[in-house]
Structures are given as structure tokens and as C-alpha cells.
């Protein structure tokens, strides 16, 4: 096993090198006309300005928490590694988003330009840009994990640095110390991810909704029209929300699943192999994903359907490769009696694919649900809203069953029937399995906003009908992959959150075995029950806060766009240029301001619940938030996706087409769906993991001071 | 204690006599002009036709389940009482709704007529009609409970009829046999309630939405215009949905809380007193409620605000009386060491009042949230939809905290810290405390639809501006009390559901103590976790099914109304009469058809989950459904209520008033809110209790056949 462990850092470096190679390839492409360069530069400048301000704000938050953690370490509630691990988690998560955003904004004009040649060349550029993001995320994630693993292993190889409990072997004490410290850098990643998702989500939807409300509805100019002062902000939003936000989100799921599974290895008695298997699995996934990317290409003149199957082929081949390579890994390294863990990995892989498929089924206009939804637009906005909400609600059933079945099988095949802790370890591994192919899944996902931006640039630079048609095709394909990606992000968040809950309780057991032995986690314990209620409510409160934030921020944009239309003479005639920067600035400031409350909520609630209701209350809260958060996130993502595509379906000529009353009703649905699918829904993913992370870091404090024990 | 127990049947009879007295009083009032009588008769006929068909359909469902229960009894899975108890529960629940509906439809014209005299006389008639409903529900509920209690006590006084477990006293065996049998008639009440709520909810909203979409929006005629063919169906809907449905719902909560608390007395070792205290508390609540009703009156010429405080005074005085009388009951009957149970009762009373208040806060246009919501209508339907959804989501936080605090305090003051079972008994008693004043709470609640109908009749009979203004005032007051009532219904459902979950587990312990001792109810047990996920998802699926049902049924009404406008010549000019009956018939048929699926879901899912995941899975499912159901129900009720009142606020002249674009946007919000607050939201209340009831009845089967043990 020892040597195989080195696969993890090697895999990380390979991923980063591959990302570098892809980036070089993208940057070699031509950016097109001067106008295209100029527009692209505006988007880039806006995105940079936003990220700079966001990172400054986040730095303040991290500084405060760093001091808190230092103080806690000084009082002996944490080891000294924790504050620093927290910082690296945050740093790498932010860096993933930053690099992804950089390359995305560098490739939008290039994609539009490439689309002038053919659909396929456009796809290649956009997909490569997405690939940079995907492999940076997995590369940096696995690098951070490997760094801490090897460093901590070296540090704790000195028994003087260890506290060895009575009856504990040296090895067990080492593993425990390593995994405990590693768990906490997940909190840094989660905090950063929350800011990126919430801030980016608010930015992108405020710009989008604001631009549409005044531009499309009031002034009657088309989408992405250069006369609209908010159009650059809208394009910036795609990058800071869908790229940087999504990257930080999945960085956090990826890292969370690997380190929580490692932590579960302690209780399961799996030794060092148990800790490193998830890391090695991740490395295998990286290799498989890289191979997969080479299958994403089609012949020239391919139809949109061909393109989709090209993207899918890449993902499926990667998954199949992981399934093949994981077998000898488990069989030869862990032994034939542990082959059940292999089945758990396959469960996770399959669950990810299936949830992705059903997300597409419920949100794509090639299937019944969205087609039926678009028909409800004929009786006005009220019926399409009711229809979309019930579609979203109904669509939660299948993912719940998929996750349930995956959890159940993973648990039992891993030996949970005899040894509870082995079962939990199996559940953790299934999350790792699901996320192992993240490199390529994220590439197809991040491809979407790049294509979306390319479309915007094609429109603004007046590249002609044909090119615009191609970028539209790329964009529409991007919507499908984005929907699949969202389902995948939610599914992996649920499994990761479950693994994190188990890790939390494992931590409690390590810190105070006696307390743990007397801990009543029965769902009939009032502390657990009340925790369930509070946890169940949090995603709702969180969704409300973020939706309201989008509303307020969008109002600001509406005012500004109206002001510019009124005050800048010649703007509507195309003789004067709008002040794009002011809209970007407004979005930046609002997003910055509005992301504070939700973040504080996510950090403070677990501590308050813990201080009042104790560990049982926290465990209940985590379970409640995971359950209701998963369901609400699926609902919001699918309602939003279906409304979006129902509108597109009508725009393609159904039910009266563009400009009809049905279309107007569908636009209402789409506008409601915007914060659903791109702000609140995705932010819930992170909320449920951050709650666990905070609980883990503050476990000692809760144990010392909780009111109910 | 023995003699005090007789208070229960005495209280039941007093409630029924008082209802009879109120009914006589209402029926003495004059129905007004011939036209008013005719309209009222149409509503009556429609409601009767609907209920007749509903009860026929439900009878089929009950017949099937009755046979199933008989077969189960034959195989020894149930005692022979169960099938019959099931029938009586269903029968009395249905009867409550039926009588309530009868008196409501008899008093709508009378209220309109009385409003010709003054606001106050109108209020008296409508409130008395509501009172009939309130006291019939509590009277029949307590009567059914008393009947079974005394019958079973007599039957099981013969030790030959008992199975006495090793080490069990005769008394313990008796109590256990009595409470087990009583629990199961709750399933009858719940099933009936589900049909009444779902069927009635679909009927009322299909008629309402359908009437508005064609009448108000397309034809541009006012609400309640007699030319609209769906107007009678709309009025019928108020009665079958808001009266009969609400009655059956609260009958079921009332009965459920009393019998589940009684069942918890066994494990808590409270003896016969423990079983009868909830019954006696209910009787005390009846007396207190009757006294309270006499305080509901104001001077002539009172303002609307005075009226509201008059209604409130009645409720508050009743609650205070219960608080006073419950003290000696607990102190002298149970002893001073059990005084904590008194505090639990007060907790429940207070929680009910507080949840009601916050429901009003979030949904009434006299407070900030709804006023702010109405302002979002200025930027169109999308923003008011987003605003209403986030208002609803945000409004879930406080009720969750109230319920949490009530549960926590009730548990600990009852001695849960030392004896877990005493704590659960305390939680049950707090539910009983909350529901003890149901007589008067329900009276103020059921007053709403009567006033609403009276307004409709005043409009249709052309009673003049002044009368219409008064009935509008009564109606608006009714909206406030209905909102409070909804909060109360949800809060009591949550507490009752928690008590039922505890009863379910207590039943399992009784049936198979060994199995129970090995039962792992930890939230980390995958069966529990998966149960949580499935349970958490059910309210969403249920809400989707019922909302879609309303949509489909409303489509039918839209077609029919359009057809009549097109085919009946002279209809729009008021020269010909529309065919009201056909709309009533369509609603009846749709409601009948559409209520089947949700009902089957509620009965089948707990059995399937139990057969696969065992008792732990069922327990998880019940907890998950209670948590997410409570939160979703609060959200849907409050979003819906706030949209409704935001629209009314605009109609009162704010933000451009009637006919403005803001008003049109608000109408969209209101239409979305209709199925939220009157169909799906309330149905969830019943779902979460019915799931527990079904689990209890099928406990033996699950224990015998479940896959995972």
C-alpha cells in the first residue's frame, strides 16, 4: 500500500499539468476582431474586479475565524495545525475558482471566434476551457490533501507529538491524529465555497434579472444587446457565479468526501490503507478523466445531438475506466474480503450518473415534463408557476430513492450488517466513487457558461446569424450539461454530508469516548428531534435570504439601467456607449454585502445549537439539514431548469413562439427560476456541508460548554 | 380519579348540546329575500351533492381497508376491535365535517341578511355557525374516545380477555390493551380527514382558480358575479374545503393527540390516570371554550378592529380558563410531584397562541412582511412570486423555534431528564393542551368561510354597497382568523405527529420487547437515515400531486365556463342563467378522481418502507415527514396567505390599486397561493399524522415480514 499512496500526489501533479496543457491550447486560439477583444476585456476586467473585492471581503472573514481558531488552539480546544489547515483549504478553494474564472473569461471570445469556423471547433475551445477548471479543481484538491497527509504523517511519526489513549496502538493514534487535523481544512474550503457560491450566485442573477427586466421587458431590446448597460455585468456574472462558484463548490465536495472517508477509516479499523484508498481512488479518477477527454470530439458538421453524445461519451468512458481500475486496487491492496467496498464505489458512480440523467429528464425540453410545463404557459403566468413548482417537487422522489438505494447497498456490501463502522466507511467510499470522475464531469459542466458568454459576445460583436446559431447550439448543449452537473453536485453533496456527519460523531468518540458511549442519538430523543426541526428549516431560511438578496440587488440594477437609458443621450440609437462598469460595480457591492448574513448563519447556528442542545442536537440538525437541503436543492434546481427550457421550447416556436402571451408567461417562470437554480439551490449544497465542517471544528467547545449533555 | 373520568363523556355531551343550541339560534335567523334563499339553496345542493359523492367514494376505500383489517385480525395481527374502531373513527370524522358543512351552508344567506342590520349582528350569526362546527368536532371526538375507553375498560376488566406478559401487573396489561385498541381508530379519522382535506381542497381551488381565470381575467366581470357559471361551485368549495375539510382535519388532530398521549401513559407508568388526564383536559377545554364564546360580542357600530379583538378575547379567555382549571386537576389528581405536567400543558397552549400570532404577522397586511410583498408587485409577477416564496420560507424559522422550545420544556419539566417516557408523555400533554380550546378556536376559524359565502351571496343578490362593505369587513376578518387557524392546525399537527411517533415505538415495544431492545434508532443507522430522506420527500411529492390535481381540475372548469359563455346566448347580458350545476359536477368528479392517488400514497408508502427498511426505517420516515411536512406546510400556508392579502392591500388602493399592472401581478401571486394555502399545505398536516396511524395499525405485519430487522 505504501507505494501506491504516492499515486495521490502524482495524480494531483498530472491533473495540474494537464490543466496547464489545456490552458496553453486554449490561449493559442485567436480572440477574433478588435471589438470581440474589447468586449472580452470588459468581461475580464469586471470579473477580476469582482473577485478582487470578494477575496478582500472573504479575507476579512477568514482573518476573524483564523484568530478565533488560534485562540481555541491556545486554550487547547484544537491542535495548532487547524488554523493553518483552515487557511490552506480556503486558499486552494479560492484559487480553483480564480483560475477557472481566468481561463473562462479568456476563452469566451476565442470560442465565439472558433465557432465562425465550425460548431466542432467552437466546442473544442469551450470544452478545453471547462477542462482547465475541472482539472485545476481536482489537482489542487488532491494536492492539498496529499500535502497535509504526508506532512502530518511525518510529524506524528514521532510518538512525542501524540496523545495515545489507553489500549490504543501507536498506529491507531497516528491515523486518528492525522485524519482529525485533515478534516478541519475542509472547513476552510467550505467557507470559501459558500462565499463564492452565494456571492457569485447573487451577482449573476441580479445582473441577469435586472438586465432582462429593463432591457427585454421595458425597453424591448433583445438579450445581450450592447446598448443594455447591464449586459457586461450579465456576462461577468456567468463567470463569477457559474464558473468560480461552481468550482469552489465542487472543490469542497471533492475534498470533503476524501477526507471524511479517511476519517471514517479510524473507527472501521482500516488502518493507513483505509485513509489512503480514497486518495488513490481520486488519483485513478484523474487519470480516467484525462483519458476520457480525448474521446470528446466529433466529425465536422456534426449535429447538436452528436455533440451531446460526444460529451457524454467522455464522461461514460471515464466512469467505466474507474470501475475497471478500482477493482484490482480494492482486490489486491485491501484483499478479497473487502471486495464489497468496490461495489460501494460502483454504487456511487452509478448513482451520480443516474441522478444526472433524471435531472436531465425533468429539465430538458426533449422529455415530457418540460414539454407539458411549457403548455401550462397558455393559461398565463400563474399556471406555469404552479406547474414548475410541482414539477420540481415531484422530481425530488427519484433522486431520494437513488441516494437511499446507494446508501443502503454501500452500507451492507461493505459489511455494515456486522460492523456498523465498516458500513459508514462504505458510504463514504461511494461518495468518493461518485466524485472520482469530477475532472471530466466538471469540464462538461464549466463548458456551459463559456459557451453562454461566447453567445453573448457573438451577439454584441455582430458576428452574423450563422455564428450566433452555432453559439446558441453550444449554449443549449451547455444548459443540458449544466443541469446534469447540478444534479451531480447535489447528489455528491448529500453523500458527502452523510459521510461528514459520521465523521463528526467519530470525532466526538475520539475526543470523549465516555460521553460518546452515553450519547443518545435516538430520533426519539428531544434534542435530536429539535435538531432535526432546526436543521430541516435552515435550508428554507437560507434559500429565503439568498432569494431576497437577489431581489434587492436586481432592484439596484433596474434603477441604474433606467437611469442610464434616461440620462445618456443617444444610447438607445447606438450612438453613445453605456457605462457598463457602474452595473458591474453595483452587482459587486450588493453581492459583497448580501453574502455576509447567510455565511454568518451557517457558521453561528451549529455552534448555538450545540451550546444549547449538545452533540445530539447537532447531529439531529446535521441530519435534518442534509435531508431537507437535498430535497429543496433538487426541487429548486429542477424547477428552475425546467422553466428555463420551457421558455426556450416556446421560443423555438411552440405554443405561439416568441412574443406570444404564452412566451410572456414563460419569461415570468424563467425569472422566478433564475435565483432558484443559480443562487439558492446551489448554495444549499454548500450549506449542508459547511454545517458539518463547523460542527467538527467546534466539537471540543460544544463538549465543554453545552447546556444539555 | 375514577369519578373525574366521567367528565369526559359529560363534556362531550355538553359540547354537542351547546352546538345544538347554537344551531337552533342560527336557524331562527331570517334567510332574507327569495333570491338569497334561491342562491343559498344552490350552494346547499351543490355541497350536498359533493359530499354525497365523496362519502360514497370514501365508503369504497373504507370497505377495502375494513376487509384488509378483518383479514389481518383473522391472522392474529390485530385484535378484532381494530376494524370496527377504524370505522367509527372515519364515521365520526366524516360526520363532523358533514354537520359543519350543513350549518355553514344554512347560515351564509342568514349572515348576509343579518349584515343588512349591522356589522355586529352579521358577526354573531357567522360566529355561531362556526361555533356549531367547533363544538360538534370536539363533542363527537370526545364522545368517540369516551365510548371506546369505557367499553374497552369493561371488556378488559375480564382477565380472560387479556394477554398478560411475564412480570406485568393486571392493571398494566389492561391499560395497554385499551390504549392499543384506541390508537387504531385514529387511522379511521385520519383517512377520512385526508379525503375531506384533499378532495375539498381540490374542489374549492379548482372552482376558485377556474372562475377567476375565465371570469375575472378573460371576460372582465367582477368576482362572485352571478353571470359566472362557476360562481356557485366557488361558494360550494368554500364549504366543502374550508369547512368540511378543516373540520375533519382538526377532528383528527384532536382525537390523535388525546389517544396518543393516553398510549404514552403506559410506558410512563402513569396508570389509568395517565390515560384519562388527556380526556379530562379535553372536557375542561370544552367548558372553557363555551364560556369563551359568550365574550365574543361588541357594541353596535364597532369597528373591524373591535370585532377582531372580540374574537380574540373569546379565545384568550378560554385559554386562560384552561390554564386555571388544569392546575388543580394536575395538582390534586396526579399529585404535586407531577406539577411539571401542568407546565407542559401551558407550553402547548402558549405555543398554539404564538404560532397563530406569527402566522398573522407574516400574512396580514397590517404588518411589514405582507406590505413589503405587495410593493414587489410593481416590478411584475416574477418579483412578487419570488417575494412570496421567500416570505414563506423565511416564516418557517419562528414556528420551528416555538415548537422546539415547547417540546424541550415539556420534555424536561415532565421529568424527561430522569425518565425518558415521562418526557414523551409531557410532549403529548402539551399537544393536548394546545388543542384543548379547539372548540372556540375552530369556531373563529370556521366563521371565515361562512362570512366569505355571505359576501358572495350579498353580491349575487345585489344587496347594495353598504351590505357588501360589511360582508367584506367580515370576510377580511375571516381571512385573519383563518390564517391564525391554519398556523394552529399545523402546530398541533406537528406536536400530535411527534406524540404519535412515540406511540408507534411504544406499540412496537409492547408487541415485541426483545426486538425493541435491539432496535437501533440512531440517526446514523442507514435504515433510519434513508427513512428520513423518504419521509422528508413525501410532503413534497404530496404537495406536487395535489397542486397538479388542482391545475387539471381548474382546466376542466375553464373549458366549461368558456363553453357556457360561448353557447348560452344572453348570458353576458344577464338575460339567461348559466348552468351552475355542471361546474359543480365537474369539480365534484375531478376532486373525487384526484384524491385517490395521494390517499393511496399515504397508506402504501409506510407499509412498503416498513417491509423493506423495518421499524427503524419507518421511525425515520415518520420523523422526516413530520419535520419537512411541518416546514413545508408553514411555508405554503404563509406564502399563500401573504399573496392573498397583498392583493387585497393593493385592491384597497395601494401601489396603483385595482386594475393597475401591480394588481395584475398580485392576482398572479394570489392564484399561485390558492392551492398552496387551501389544498396542498393543509393536506400535509393530515399526511404526517396518517403516516403514523398507518404505521401503528400495520406494526405487527412489519414486525413479521420486514426485510431488514
Query: In this predicted model, what pLDDT tens digit does every residue of B339-379 receive, in sequence order?
Result: 999 999 999 999 998 998 899 899 988 899 999 999 999 88
Q: Which of A239-253, A392-406, A567-581, B651-665 has the highest mean predicted lDDT (pLDDT)?
A: A392-406
In the block, residue with C-alpha cell 450545540: A610
Q: How many CA within 13 A on the CB side of residue B472? A: 13
Confidence category of residue A224, pLDDT binned at 50, 70, 90: confident
Q: Which is more confident, B12 or B567?
A: B12
Confidence category of residue B47, pLDDT binned at 50, 70, 90: confident
DSSP state of B221: P
pLDDT of B455 reads: 85
pLDDT of A455 reads: 85
Mark out the alpha helices in B512-525 (DSSP H runs).
513-517
State the SS3 of A583-639.
Answer: HHHHHHHHHHHHCHHHHHHHHHHHHHHHHHHHHHHHHHHHHHHHHHHHHHHHHHHHH
To the nearest whole Å, the CA of B671 is away from the closest chain A CA by: 6
Confidence category of residue B224, pLDDT binned at 50, 70, 90: confident
To the nearest whole Å, the CA of A189 is away from the closest chain B CA by: 25
Out of A505, A543, A545, the one facing B524 most closely (by C-beta) is A505
A-contacting residues in B 507-526 (Cβ below 8 Å): 521-526
Average the pLDDT over A165-181 and give the result: 84
pLDDT of A244 reads: 83
What is the phi-psi region of residue B296: left when phi exceeds 0, alpha when psi lies from -120 to 50, beta otherwise?
Answer: beta
Q: What percent of chain B has pLDDT over 90?
A: 43
Instruction: Give the tens place of pLDDT for each residue, B495-525.
Output: 889 989 988 998 898 888 888 888 999 998 9
pLDDT of B345 reads: 95
Average the pLDDT over B647-658 and give the result: 88
Q: What's the CA gap between A527 and B532, in Å, rounded?
A: 16
Low-confidence winner among A159-168, B27-36, B70-79, B234-243 (lowest mean pLDDT): A159-168
Neighbours of A569 (CB within 10 A): 9
pLDDT of B322 reads: 95
Average the pLDDT over B260-284 and give the result: 90
B-contacting residues in A 82-121 (Cβ below 8 Å): none
pLDDT of B1 reads: 54
Out of B386, B416, B631, the one facing A675 most closely (by C-beta) is B386
CB–CB contacts below 8 A, A to B? 225
Buried b / exposed e along B644-666 (16+ C-beta atoms within 10 A): bbbbbbbbeebbeeeebebbbbb
B-contacting residues in A 621-680 (Cβ below 8 Å): 623-624, 627-628, 630-631, 635, 667-668, 671-672, 675
B-contacting residues in A 394-413 (Cβ below 8 Å): 394, 396-397, 400-401, 403-404, 407-408, 411
Q: Which is more confident, B238 or B531?
A: B531
Residue A552 touches partner B, C-beta closer than 8 Å: no
Closest listed residue to residue A391, CA positions, set A636, A672, A205: A636
pLDDT of B81 reads: 86
Average the pLDDT over B186-190 and give the result: 88
Residues of A in contact with B383 (CB under 8 A): 551, 554, 671
Confidence category of residue B154, pLDDT binned at 50, 70, 90: very high
Average the pLDDT over B56-82 and give the result: 89
Burial of B2 (0-12, 13-18, 19+ CB in 10 A): exposed
To the nearest whole Å, the CA of B582 is away from the closest chain A CA by: 22
A620/B547 CB distance under 8 A: no
DSSP state of A660: S
Mark out the alpha helices in B169-270 (DSSP H runs).
170-211, 231-237, 246-268
Residue A302 has pLDDT above 70, yes or no: no
To the nearest whole Å, the CA of A703 is away from the closest chain B CA by: 18
Q: What percent of chain A has pLDDT over 70?
A: 99
Out of B393, B401, B501, the one facing A544 most closely (by C-beta) is B393
To the nearest whole Å, the CA of A180 is away from the closest chain B CA by: 20
Neighbours of A685 (CB within 10 A): 30
Average the pLDDT over A310-316 and give the result: 87
pLDDT of B235 reads: 83
Confidence category of residue A448, pLDDT binned at 50, 70, 90: confident
Average the pLDDT over B2-25 and give the result: 93
Instruction: Give the tens place of pLDDT for each residue, A555-580.
Output: 888 888 888 988 888 888 878 888 88
A217/B380 CB distance under 8 A: yes
Closest listed residue to residue B12, CA positions, set B142, B113, B126: B142
B540/A635 CB distance under 8 A: yes
B627/A630 CB distance under 8 A: no
Average the pLDDT over A498-520 and give the result: 89
Average the pLDDT over B166-171 and give the result: 80
pLDDT of B688 reads: 92
Residues B368, B349 contacting (CB under 8 angstroms): no
Q: What is the pTM of this model?
A: 0.94
Residues of A in contact with B671 (CB under 8 A): 382-383, 386
Residue A1 has pLDDT above 60, yes or no: no
B-contacting residues in A 210-229 (Cβ below 8 Å): 213, 217
Residue B325 touches partner A, C-beta closer than 8 Å: no
Average the pLDDT over B472-499 and give the result: 84
Residues of A in contact with B394 (CB under 8 A): 540-541, 544-545, 548
Reported ipTM: the value is 0.94
CA distances in angstroms from A25 to A440, A605, A667, listed in the order given: 17, 46, 38
Closest listed residue to residue A632, CA positions, set B423, B540, B342: B540
Low-confidence winner among A114-118, A483-487, A495-499 (lowest mean pLDDT): A483-487
pLDDT of B300 reads: 66
Residues contacting A267, CB < 8 A, separation 6+? A421, A424, A425, A506, A509
Instruction: Give the tens place of pLDDT for each residue, B133-148.
Output: 999 999 999 999 999 9
C-alpha cell at B582: 355542471
Domain spans in chain B, listed from the N-terminal domain onward: 2-705
DSSP state of A165: P
Neighbours of B221 (CB within 10 A): 17
Residues of A in contact with B620 (CB under 8 A): 523
* SS3 label, residue A576: coil
Residue A218 has pLDDT above 80, yes or no: no
pLDDT of A462 reads: 82
B668/A382 CB distance under 8 A: yes
Q: What's the CA gap between A496 and A685, in Å, rounded?
A: 10
CA B628 to chain CA mean position, Å: 18
pLDDT of A22 reads: 95
Instruction: Give the tens place of pLDDT for each residue, B575-596.
Output: 888 888 888 888 888 888 888 8
Q: What's the CA gap between A68 and A82, in Å, rounded?
A: 11
C-alpha cell at B505: 415505538
B424/A524 CB distance under 8 A: yes
DSSP state of A418: T
Closest listed residue to residue B546, CA positions, set B639, B643, B636, B642: B636
Residue A550 touches partner B, C-beta closer than 8 Å: yes
To the nearest whole Å, the CA of A386 is away from the closest chain B CA by: 6
Amino acid at each position: 500500500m505504501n507505494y501506491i499512496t504516492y499515486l495521490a500526489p502524482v495524480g494531483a501533479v498530472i491533473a495540474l499539468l494537464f490543466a496547464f496543457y489545456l490552458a496553453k491550447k486554449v490561449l493559442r486560439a485567436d480572440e477574433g476582431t478588435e471589438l470581440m477583444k474589447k468586449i472580452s476585456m470588459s468581461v475580464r476586467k469586471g470579473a477580476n474586479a469582482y473577485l478582487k473585492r470578494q477575496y478582500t471581503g472573504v479575507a476579512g472573514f477568514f482573518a476573524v475565524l483564523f484568530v478565533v481558531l488560534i485562540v481555541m488552539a491556545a486554550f487547547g480546544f484544537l491542535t495548532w495545525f487547524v488554523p493553518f489547515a483552515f487557511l490552506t483549504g480556503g486558499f486552494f478553494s479560492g484559487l480553483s475558482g480564480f483560475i477557472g474564472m481566468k481561463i473562462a473569461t479568456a476563452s469566451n471570445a476565442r470560442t465565439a471566434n472558433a465557432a465562425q469556423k465550425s460548431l466542432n471547433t467552437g466546442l473544442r475551445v469551450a470544452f478545453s476551457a471547462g477542462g482547465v477548471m475541472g482539472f485545476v479543481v481536482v489537482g489542487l484538491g488532491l494536492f492539498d490533501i496529499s500535502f497535509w497527509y504526508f506532512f502530518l504523517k511525518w510529524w506524528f511519526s514521532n510518538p512525542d507529538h501524540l496523545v495515545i489513549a489507553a489500549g490504543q496502538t501507536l498506529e491507531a493514534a497516528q491515523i486518528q491524529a492525522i485524519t482529525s487535523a485533515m478534516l478541519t481544512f475542509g472547513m476552510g474550503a467550505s467557507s470559501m465555497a459558500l462565499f463564492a457560491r452565494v456571492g457569485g450566485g447573487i451577482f449573476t442573477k441580479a445582473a441577469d434579472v435586472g438586465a432582462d427586466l429593463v432591457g427585454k421587458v421595458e425597453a424591448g431590446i433583445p438579450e445581450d444587446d450592447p446598448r443594455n448597460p447591464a449586459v457586461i455585468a450579465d456576462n461577468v456574472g456567468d463567470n463569477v457565479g457559474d464558473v468560480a462558484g461552481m468550482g469552489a463548490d465542487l472543490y469542497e465536495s471533492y475534498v470533503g468526501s476524501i477526507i471524511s472517508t479517511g476519517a471514517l477509516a479510524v473507527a472501521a479499523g482500516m488502518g493507513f490503507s483505509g485513509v489512503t484508498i480514497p486518495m488513490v481512488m481520486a488519483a485513478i479518477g484523474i487519470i480516467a478523466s484525462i483519458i476520457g477527454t480525448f474521446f470528446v470530439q466529433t466529425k465536422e458538421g456534426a449535429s447538436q445531438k452528436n455533440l451531446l453524445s460526444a460529451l457524454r461519451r467522455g464522461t461514460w468512458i471515464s466512469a467505466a475506466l474507474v470501475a475497471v481500475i478500482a477493482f484490482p486496487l480494492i482486490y489486491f491492496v485491501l484483499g478479497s474480503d473487502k471486495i464489497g467496498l468496490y461495489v460501494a464505489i460502483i454504487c456511487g458512480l452509478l448513482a451520480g450518473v443516474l441522478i444526472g440523467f433524471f435531472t436531465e429528464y425533468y429539465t430538458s425540453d426533449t422529455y415530457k415534463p418540460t414539454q407539458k410545463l411549457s403548455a401550462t404557459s397558455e393559461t398565463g403566468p400563474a399556471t406555469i408557476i404552479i406547474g414548475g413548482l410541482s414539477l420540481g417537487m415531484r422530481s425530488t422522489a427519484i433522486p431520494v430513492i437513488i441516494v437511499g438505494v446507494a446508501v443502503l447497498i454501500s452500507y451492507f456490501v461493505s459489511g455494515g450488517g456486522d460492523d456498523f463502522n465498516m458500513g459508514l466507511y462504505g458510504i463514504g467510499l461511494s461518495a468518493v466513487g461518485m466524485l472520482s470522475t469530477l475532472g471530466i464531469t466538471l469540464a462538461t459542466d464549466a463548458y456551459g457558461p463559456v459557451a453562454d458568454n461566447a453567445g453573448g459576445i457573438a451577439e454584441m460583436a455582430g458576428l452574423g446569424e450563422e455564428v450566433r446559431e452555432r453559439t446558441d447550439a453550444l449554449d443549449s448543449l451547455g444548459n443540458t450539461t449544466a443541469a446534469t452537473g447540478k444534479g451531480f453536485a447535489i447528489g455528491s453533496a448529500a453523500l458527502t454530508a452523510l459521510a461528514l456527519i459520521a465523521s463528526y460523531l467519530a470525532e466526538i468518540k475520539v475526543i470523549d469516548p465516555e460521553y460518546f458511549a452515553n450519547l443518545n442519538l435516538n430520533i426519539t430523543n428531544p434534542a435530536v428531534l429539535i435538531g432535526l426541526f432546526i436543521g430541516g428549516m435552515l435550508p428554507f431560511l437560507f434559500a429565503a435570504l439568498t432569494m431576497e438578496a437577489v431581489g434587492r440587488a436586481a432592484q439596484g440594477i433596474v434603477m441604474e439601467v433606467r437611469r442610464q437609458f434616461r440620462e445618456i443621450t443617444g444610447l438607445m440609437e447606438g450612438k453613445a456607449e453605456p457605462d457598463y462598469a457602474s452595473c458591474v460595480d453595483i452587482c459587486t457591492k450588493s453581492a459583497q454585502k448580501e453574502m455576509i448574513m447567510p455565511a454568518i448563519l451557517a457558521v453561528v447556528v451549529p455552534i448555538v445549537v450545540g451550546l444549547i442542545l449538545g452533540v445530539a442536537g447537532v447531529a439531529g440538525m446535521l441530519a435534518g439539514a442534509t435531508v431537507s437541503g437535498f430535497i429543496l436543492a433538487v426541487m429548486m434546481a429542477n424547477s428552475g431548469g425546467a422553466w428555463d427550457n420551457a421558455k426556450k421550447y416556446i421560443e423555438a416556436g411552440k405554443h405561439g413562439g416568441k412574443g406570444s402571451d404564452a412566451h410572456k408567461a414563460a419569461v415570468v417562470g424563467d425569472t422566478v427560476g433564475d435565483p432558484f437554480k443559480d443562487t439558492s439551490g446551489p448554495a444549499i449544497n454548500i450549506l449542508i456541508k459547511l454545517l458539518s465542517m463547523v460542527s467538527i471544528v467546534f466539537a471540543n467547545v460544544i463538549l465543554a460548554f453545552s447546556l444539555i449533555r
